[in-house]
Chains A and B, each alone.
Chain A
Amino acid sequence: QQPVQSPQAVILREGEDAVINCSSSKALYSVHWYRQKHGEAPVFLMILLKGGEQKGHDKISASFNEKKQQSSLYLTASQLSYSGTYFCGTQNNNAGNMLTFGGGTRLMVKP
């Protein structure tokens, strides 16, 4: 079953912050985050493993709450280059290393 992402879309001004959420109805082994720019392939940002860890990548960080089966992606002091569609991909405990992707969150950063 596909994880649910929210919001579906968000518009920011440069320098503003945003949070994108990803929720699953199944127990998770890990959560991946990807960014896709228009007309391009998804690009891997980070992976979070069960254990509730939080990771950072420049000014983009994420958390994973295994009990709630949720992950959140935090974008701080957004830059124009952050624009794109963000996807979470979830990996279940017993599903090999296949990812099921959420529907995506379209982020637009304006000057």
Chain B
Amino acid sequence: DAGVIQSPRHEVTEMGQEVTLRCKPISGHNSLFWYRQTMMRGLELLIYFNNNVPIDDSGMPEDRFSAKMPNASFSTLKIQPSEPRDSAVYFCASSLSGGRPTNYGYTFGSGTRLTVV
């Protein structure tokens, strides 16, 4: 099992540009999460999908952020336009769950380090 795969590993972009982060969850996992990690705010949940359906996006900072999961093996997080304060490490994680509190841990991808200059 290759684990959760994220791309790119690093992204440097200029303010105002569009950024797209990608994630391939573990096969068979039906829950997918996007987290953002910064020194100031720690690990913040941005959005949570269950069976490809967005369940909770209350953590998405603002309309500049959007996420999709067109099928069980792929998800994207898009920032348009990007701003310097979006600089962070973005993690995708997947888990096995029935949409209720789970007995299974999360498997995190290696993360995308985003720098907006």
Let me know if A97 and B43 touch, CB within 8 A. no
Q: A29 — which chain B residues lie within 8 A by C-beta?
A: 101
- Of the stretches B18-26, B67-75, B103-111, the one at the interface is B103-111
Given the complex of chains A and B, what is the CA–CA distance between A98 and B76 in angstroms?
19
Chain B residues within 8 Å of A, Cβ to Cβ? 31, 33, 35, 42-43, 45, 48, 50, 55-56, 91, 95, 97, 99-111
Q: Output the residue of A40, A42, A102 with the most chain B CB within 10 A.
A: A42
Our pick among A44, A95, A104 for the contact of B106 (Cβ within 8 Å) is A44
Given contacts A41-B91, A49-B103, A96-B56, contact A87 B43 (CB under 8 A): yes
Q: Which residue of A lies closest to B59 (CB)?
A: A98
**A101 to B35, alpha carbons, bound, how many Å?**
10
Q: Is the CB of A32 within 8 A of B106?
A: yes
Name A's B-contacting residues (CB within 8 A). Answer: 2, 29-30, 32, 34, 40-47, 49, 87, 89, 91-93, 95-104
Is the Cβ of A91 less than 8 Å from the Cβ of B102? yes
CB <8 Å contact, A99 and B56: no
Bound state CA distance, A24 and B77, in angstroms?
Answer: 29
Closest approach, in angstroms, between the C-beta of B87 and any C-beta of chain A? 16
**In the complex, are the beta carbons of B110 and A41 less than 8 A apart?**
yes
Query: Are A99 and B110 in contact, with the CB atoms below 8 A?
Result: no
Q: How far is the CA of A32 from the CA of B45 in the complex (A)?
A: 15
- What are 10 A-B pairs with beta-carbon distances under 8 A? A34-B105, A42-B106, A49-B103, A89-B106, A93-B101, A95-B56, A97-B97, A97-B100, A98-B48, A101-B43
A41-B31 contact in complex given A96-B55, A99-B106, A104-B42, C-beta closer than 8 Å: no
Q: How far is the CB of B6 from chain A (nearest CB, A)?
A: 9
The distance from the CB of A71 to the nearest CB of chain B, in whole angstroms, is 14
Task: Assess A41 versus B109: contact at CB under 8 Å? Given A49-B103, A97-B31.
Answer: yes
In the bound complex, CA of A45 to CA of B105 (Å)? 8
- A96:B99 contact, CB within 8 angstroms: yes
Given A96-B55, A97-B31, A98-B56, verify A41-B103 contact (CB < 8 Å).
Answer: no
